[in-house]
Structure 1
Amino acid sequence: MSLDKKIEMGYYKVIKKKLDLDDVLTEELGQLGKYQIMTILMVSFPVIFASMATNEYIFSTARIPTRCLIPQCDGDNPEYAPEWVLNAIPGSSMDSFDNCARYRNSSAASGGAGQCAKEWFDSTQTEPCDEYVYQNTLTIVYDFALACEEWKRSQIGSLRIVGAMLVQPITGYISDRWGRRVALILNTFNAGCLGLVRSFVHSYEWFLVTEILEAAVGGAAFMSCYILVTELAGPQHRVIAGATMSTILAFGQVVLGLVAWGVPAWRPMTRVIYAPHLLIVTYFWIMTESVRWLMSKGRYEESEAILKRIAKTNKKSLSDKSLQALRNSTEAQKLKEKLNEPWLVIQVIRSPTMLLRCVVMPILWITTGLVYGGLNINSVNLSGNRYLNYIYVALVEIPGYWTAILLLDRIGRKPVLIGGYWLCAGCQFAFALIPSGYNGLSLAFYLVGKYAISTVATSAFVYAAELYPTKYRHSLFAFTSTVSRLGPIVTPLTPAMALTIWEHFPSVLFGSFALLSGLLLLLTPETLGIKLPDTMEEAEQSSLRTRK
């Protein structure tokens, strides 16, 4: 039976349920037609560059191997690993020696460049370096003299995440107040401007300031794109739309690895990454606003124009009776806007169902951000080519996202999330227990763990979108994302933890959080087959409403 016929027969009145956008997408416009695909292609540009900007610091602040400068042995252009290095510096081989200490002098003897007798040093005593020789000059470690300043280097990523905590509620308010498109354009443009400024700074302090500011005013472009796309897709194709967005995000990381490999020096690399961001201003004229958001604000004329455009692009027919039913629904929403509703925090506190979701979901996202980001950051410290390792770890995300597509609509959201968390936990514990020397096996568990957490990442976005109502979706997403930044704040510090606490401490930390998150999911409802809730009341009942 057509949607038009259902309306004419009073079907929606009988079941006491208003006509909504999901009904129109399912019955008339198409759940993932040409228009939705064009929108996904359009947001691919800001998503790719948002992914690159979010992870660029992994390469621009990467550790550079160093050694002490030995004045009596080094010439004007010192070599990082000369033949005599083990005479003056503790180490086991030419490829493995101390980066931050040297043997004490046992005599005042010295020679020309290339001459460095073992007898000139007391191998029973060491002392810290006065000056350093760097293996290369590619990152800020060289420019800002951060040799052996591991915590100072690592905290850049953590403080960037602090900035990202600020951007989520701000962007959530902008998005829910002025629209998804405005939030997307502002974030992308701000990130581009501050990224370019950072490429010209000449001090550690200003680098840190611009890193934090960029995240604070430009770090939520992906969230805006994701919400815009999922609000436009029909309920049966929302998972595909979400996984596609995550795949594009992973592709952005692959592009970052290739750019960093091709342009390894951090200043030109930063300019290559951030300059294209400025083109986002064109989206004011070429991208339309979210129809669902417009309807939630009672802006019927604008939403009707876009719905007609969707119908034309998808080569579908949109009936006048559907438009009238949507108008009635929109006018009702417009009247609700005029009522004095309680503050969102009060509404959540008054609802035990929503309060539980607002407690559990941030913890799940903390885990996802901690493990996902931690595996990315630590990948450049694995043995082998750092750029290829990073690309491998990014590429393995893609099958994880599409595994979510295959399973979420078949076995449900919760089984996929629980299974993904627990598979990841098992891989992390196994990685920590594998003896040294089994590099191939270690890499295999590392990649499977990244695959599992990637399946979780895209599933968690879909799950949260189905638990939160349209009217407050971005605000609640922003709250969840803001709290979840506690996980990513820790991830840049994990390489330093591995050096100072225990080599496998990060893996055990990741595995423990993943195990806990799987258990917490037992407290939340299954959302397979539900309509995307528009109001707080619908969200509370979402676990009881399924689409037939």
Structure 2
Amino acid sequence: MADTKAEKGESKSPAIDLDAILKDEVGQFGRYQLVTLALAALPVIFSAFASGEYIFTTARIPTRCRIEQCDGSASEVPMPEFRPAWVLNAINGTSADSFEACSRFPDQLPQLPSNDTCPADWFDRSTEVDCDGHVYENSLSVVYDFDMACDEWRRSQIGSIRTIGTLLVLPITGFISDRWGRRVALTINAFNTGWIGLVRSFVNSYEWFLALEVIESTVGAGAFSSCHILVTELVGPKYRVMAGATISTMFAVGQVILGFIAWGVPAWRPLTQVLYIPQLFVVTYFWILSESVRWLMSKGRYEESEAILKKVAKANKMQLSDKSLELLRSTAEAEKLIKKPKEPWLPLLVFRSRVILMRCCVAPIWWITNTLVYYGMNINAVNLSGNSYLNYVYVAAIEIPGFWTAILLLDRIGRKPVLITAYWLCAACQFIFAFMPAGNEGIAMAIYLVGKYSIAIVMTSVYVYTSELFPTKYRHSLFAFASMVGRLGSITAPLTPALAQEVWEPLPQVLFGSFALASGALIFTTPETLHTKLPDTMEEAENIAKRKMDD
């Protein structure tokens, strides 16, 4: 057995059961864990700001062609009236509120003198041509600043480029977290998000805006996963699902707050500043938060683990037993004497284990579906009929009952039944919404919200489930790998409005439904983790279904 563990890159696991210590001695969820959870909520809310801010700062603006002989030149009249009385003389449409955004009637030469403003006989109304310039209804988003009136793909590219950064940040954050700790990863990510986002609010070119979006997300978008890992590793097994759902709930609360802030501060530059300046103060968490005890133990830092466990016990009005103290100290002494073998490269360990390799192939597909559907529904919400800000708030708020439904069900019926049902309910809603006849806005919105509710159940459940499938020593790195590949979904999500506009209107929902249907089926290939101990080693993770714990 020792040789086998050495081959897998694991030194002998200490005979310390942290779950048992939390359960029987220092408290699974007391005042200490509650304070940590409350502190972690703030960076999670800020993460919601950062992840959804571009939906508003890059929002579409109603546009029309500039008719120079009627509007004047751009240098003379930068923002002429958007819906003048003569608009249907020059632009094809059915009313003063409904006309073509990207084409106009060509000039009919010679133009006859007229007492009217822009009369119809100035234009050849038998054909249409593309705009030479544009008039915008407002200047609230970067679409005005960077003149992207009819360039839907260029506008959508901002969200996709940003999510490429979120793909890159996950392995970086996973490495930092597993090497230097969850607290370090959290504070670095949150601070980087704050200062880079603030700098971006001052740029005046599309290229710099795009570059800073990528840089910000590459070095700052890992705060949410760091908070999730930190909190779930601190609480006892009984409250692990609740802690994870609370973190997800705070993300939804952040999105709701974002919707209202964007409604109140619609101009993109001040909005960005309001959202990002507070994030700079999260750097103080390095001195406020304690490190994950489970991570410290996995690194053999038992003296620090003992000090934190004493703080937890004191805050929770519990007592760490002499037996546990003696075990911690004896293990610390033993660790100093043990010459640890050089660990093999993590990908090599994964390829040696067919079971873990299978999970590393399946889990990313779940995450692609999660991010594609979750972010895709958020982005498309602002294009539904009605108030775009309120639509975004509704679609974000419906996540909260979804997260707590996951709490009620995960520890009662198991991880797999919840995930399969939620995936397939989401798929059904997407297909129904895609092919629903026009004129049923109320019913369509209800189905849209049920679909978002379903994917919210999945989001909470898959965070818990994925973290339970991998060992402590490599949990954040393997978790980050699945989430990283999953960012292919969030890279595609910002392009879905363009797909609906340029290719086929129901295409986004058909895409969402197909992925949800397939992901539900793939859940059957992995083990149930209900009532199992959190695995600490590769071997324990391989045999997870056999590691049942007492209620």
Match in the other structure for 1:99: 101
Alpha-carbon separation, structure 2, partners of 1:375 and 1:171: 26
Matched, 1:469 2:468: no
SS of the residue corresponding to residue 340 of structure 1 reads coil
Match in the other structure for 1:3: none
SS of the residue corresponding to residue 154 of structure 1 reads helix
TM-score (norm 1): 0.95
After superposition, the Cα gap between the structure-2 partners of 1:336 and 1:115, relative to the gap in structure 1 and judged at 3 Å, is farther
Aligned partner (choices 267, 272, 276) of residue 265 of structure 1: 267
After superposition, the Cα gap between the structure-2 partners of 1:31 and 1:103, relative to the gap in structure 1 and judged at 3 Å, is same
In the TM superposition, residue 328 of structure 1 has moved relative to its aligned partner by: 4.6
SS of the residue corresponding to residue 92 of structure 1 reads strand
Match in the other structure for 1:276: 278
Whether the aligned pair in 2 keeps the contact of 1:296 and 1:330 (CA below 8 Å) is no
Residue type at the aligned position of 1:71: E
Alpha-carbon separation, structure 2, partners of 1:496 and 1:308: 55
In the TM superposition, residue 341 of structure 1 has moved relative to its aligned partner by: 2.3
In the TM superposition, residue 334 of structure 1 has moved relative to its aligned partner by: 6.8
Match in the other structure for 2:6: none
SS of the residue corresponding to residue 503 of structure 1 reads coil
In the TM superposition, residue 95 of structure 1 has moved relative to its aligned partner by: 2.4
After superposition, the Cα gap between the structure-2 partners of 1:443 and 1:80, relative to the gap in structure 1 and judged at 3 Å, is same
* Runs of at least 5 residues in structure 1 that lack an aligned partner in the other structure: 1-15
After superposition, the Cα gap between the structure-2 partners of 1:328 and 1:530, relative to the gap in structure 1 and judged at 3 Å, is farther
Match in the other structure for 1:192: 194
In the TM superposition, residue 54 of structure 1 has moved relative to its aligned partner by: 1.2
Match in the other structure for 1:405: 407
Q: Deviations over 1:25-62 (max 9, x none)?
A: 11111111111110010111111111101111111111
Aligned partner (choices 60, 64, 68) of residue 63 of structure 1: 60
Matched, 1:227 2:229: yes
Match in the other structure for 2:3: none
After superposition, the Cα gap between the structure-2 partners of 1:329 and 1:110, relative to the gap in structure 1 and judged at 3 Å, is farther
Alpha-carbon separation, structure 1, partners of 2:290 and 2:114: 70
More deviation, 116-125/419-428: 116-125
In the TM superposition, residue 120 of structure 1 has moved relative to its aligned partner by: 2.1
Alpha-carbon separation, structure 1, partners of 2:537 and 2:20: 16
Residue type at the aligned position of 1:220: G
Match in the other structure for 1:23: 20
Residue type at the aligned position of 1:237: Y
Match in the other structure for 1:135: 137
In the TM superposition, residue 83 of structure 1 has moved relative to its aligned partner by: 2.4
Residue type at the aligned position of 2:145: D
In the TM superposition, residue 352 of structure 1 has moved relative to its aligned partner by: 1.0
Aligned partner (choices 103, 123, 126) of residue 124 of structure 1: 126
Residue type at the aligned position of 1:58: I
More deviation, 364-373/276-285: 276-285
**How many residue pairs get matched?**
533
The alignment's C-alpha RMSD in Å is 1.7
Whether the aligned pair in 1 keeps the contact of 2:169 and 2:217 (CA below 8 Å) is yes
SS of the residue corresponding to residue 72 of structure 1 reads helix
Alpha-carbon separation, structure 2, partners of 1:94 and 1:364: 46
After superposition, the Cα gap between the structure-2 partners of 1:487 and 1:332, relative to the gap in structure 1 and judged at 3 Å, is farther
In the TM superposition, residue 213 of structure 1 has moved relative to its aligned partner by: 0.2
Alpha-carbon separation, structure 1, partners of 2:216 and 2:407: 33
In the TM superposition, residue 85 of structure 1 has moved relative to its aligned partner by: 1.5
SS of the residue corresponding to residue 106 of structure 2 reads strand
Residue type at the aligned position of 2:390: L
Match in the other structure for 1:446: 448
Whether the aligned pair in 2 keeps the contact of 1:20 and 1:329 (CA below 8 Å) is no
Q: Deviations over 1:502-530 (max 9, x none)?
A: 11100000000000000111111100011
Residue type at the aligned position of 1:422: W
In the TM superposition, residue 330 of structure 1 has moved relative to its aligned partner by: 5.7
* Runs of at least 5 residues in structure 2 that lack an aligned partner in the other structure: 1-12
Match in the other structure for 1:480: 482
Alpha-carbon separation, structure 2, partners of 1:113 and 1:52: 52
After superposition, the Cα gap between the structure-2 partners of 1:127 and 1:420, relative to the gap in structure 1 and judged at 3 Å, is same
In the TM superposition, residue 116 of structure 1 has moved relative to its aligned partner by: 2.3
Match in the other structure for 1:4: none
In the TM superposition, residue 337 of structure 1 has moved relative to its aligned partner by: 7.8
Aligned partner (choices 339, 351, 355) of residue 341 of structure 2: 339
Alpha-carbon separation, structure 2, partners of 1:349 and 1:169: 18
Alpha-carbon separation, structure 2, partners of 1:110 and 1:543: 84
Alpha-carbon separation, structure 2, partners of 1:196 and 1:502: 37
After superposition, the Cα gap between the structure-2 partners of 1:27 and 1:86, relative to the gap in structure 1 and judged at 3 Å, is same
Matched, 1:47 2:49: no
Aligned partner (choices 34, 52, 73) of residue 70 of structure 2: 73
Whether the aligned pair in 1 keeps the contact of 2:86 and 2:118 (CA below 8 Å) is yes
Whether the aligned pair in 2 keeps the contact of 1:295 and 1:330 (CA below 8 Å) is no
Aligned partner (choices 209, 213, 216) of residue 215 of structure 2: 213
In the TM superposition, residue 161 of structure 1 has moved relative to its aligned partner by: 1.0
Aligned partner (choices 530, 540, 543) of residue 542 of structure 2: 540
Match in the other structure for 1:374: 376
Alpha-carbon separation, structure 2, partners of 1:125 and 1:266: 37
TM-score (norm 2): 0.94
In the TM superposition, residue 74 of structure 1 has moved relative to its aligned partner by: 2.0
Whether the aligned pair in 1 keeps the contact of 2:303 and 2:328 (CA below 8 Å) is no
Match in the other structure for 1:254: 256
After superposition, the Cα gap between the structure-2 partners of 1:113 and 1:61, relative to the gap in structure 1 and judged at 3 Å, is farther
Alpha-carbon separation, structure 1, partners of 2:469 and 2:111: 73
Whether the aligned pair in 1 keeps the contact of 2:14 and 2:331 (CA below 8 Å) is no
In the TM superposition, residue 332 of structure 1 has moved relative to its aligned partner by: 6.2
Whether the aligned pair in 1 keeps the contact of 2:303 and 2:332 (CA below 8 Å) is no
Alpha-carbon separation, structure 2, partners of 1:375 and 1:332: 53
In the TM superposition, residue 108 of structure 1 has moved relative to its aligned partner by: 3.7
